[in-house]
Amino acid sequence: MPPAARAPGPPARTPRALALVTLLLPLALLPLALLTAAPRAAAEPAGWSLAPLGGGRPAFYAEGTPGTVLRDTVSVTNRGRTPVTVRLHATGLPAVFARSGLRIPARTRAEVPFTVTVPREAAPGHRTGTIVARDSRGRTATVPVRLRVGGPAVAALTVEHLAVHPDRISYELVNRGTTVLVPRLAVRADGVFGRVLDRAPRTLPVRLAPGARRTLSEPWPGRPVPDRVRVRLTVTAAGGAHGTADTSAAYVPWGAVAGGAGVVAAGTAVLLRRARRGRRAVPAAPRPAEAELTGAVS
């Protein structure tokens, strides 16, 4: 009985094929190795690095109330074989360094104290910044700064400089509190004969930082009939912020007034012209005869 047939297996690898695979495999893995190493080279410039001093912290963390001066130290480590010169600065937060420019010898670490002052107008919450180091070749390294601003959260705003124009209403919003506000506006206007404008509260496309002041306008294209109106603006925001302002404005249709005045003036001119013609057409009355004095005595 003949032996059972076997399924064909993979072809046997010859020594030449194995040598070819051995030669090509490192070349195929080379781009992957380069891609894996690229982020590390971009995150840390060759030869030197920047980091918070001590503890292996990935960022600077600080907390304080507005006006507080916070202190910390940044380190620049030169692992290279030649000296390196770097300059330090900060973005996003007001930082002052003990030395902004420094030359670091080979295989040396420099420690630079610095201070961050919490802005006095800063609202309670979180703020971010960055410590940046740049060398003479333009290479940079950064460390994040995360700041938590303490203090009570106060929501307050005012509506100022309200004015009514023929086609719009202008006003100014001022954030008097310590939190960021997204205001809502309601507009109402009452005339002698009743309500002439009534707009329900709506959210404005504005974010007001603490202490911020913004000039805005509300369109009002339709002029009311001759009337005297009182306009009132009500602005609210989250946290209980509330502000109002009102003013008065008189609307007079000057075009109609000018047209009426023109008609009256034209009519008056016609009447005067006719009166003058009438005076010229009336004949003069004859004068009475005067007696002639002859000096005779009767």
Fold of 48-149: Immunoglobulin-like (2.60.40)
Is residue 92 very low, low, confident or very high in pLDDT (cuts 50, 70, 90)?
very high
Q: Cα(116)–Cα(219) distance, rounded to whole angstroms? A: 44
pLDDT band at residue 271 under the 50/70/90 scheme: low
Name the fold adopted by 157-251. Immunoglobulin-like (2.60.40)
Residue 42's pLDDT is 38
Q: How many CB atoms lie within 10 A of CB 53?
A: 14
Residue type (1 letter), 169: I
- Tell me the torsion sign for CA atoms 42, 47, 51, 56: positive
Instruction: Give domain limits for the chain.
Output: 48-149, 157-251
Q: Which residues pair with 181 in a beta bridge?
A: 208
Q: Do domains 48-149 and 157-251 have the same CATH topology?
A: yes
Q: How many residues are recorded in the chain?
A: 298
pTM: 0.49
Taking the mean position of all CA atoms in its chain, how far away is CA 271? 65
Q: What is the pLDDT of residue 186?
A: 97
Please tell me the distance from the alpha carbon of residue 20 to that of residue 233, in angstroms, as a whole number. Answer: 83
Label the pairing between strands 60-64 and 140-149.
parallel
Region 139-159: mean pLDDT is: 92
Confidence at residue 135, expressed as pLDDT on a 0 to 100 scale: 96
Locus of tokens 């919490």: 118
Closest by Cα among 81, 97, 80 to 89: 97
The pLDDT of residue 169 is: 95
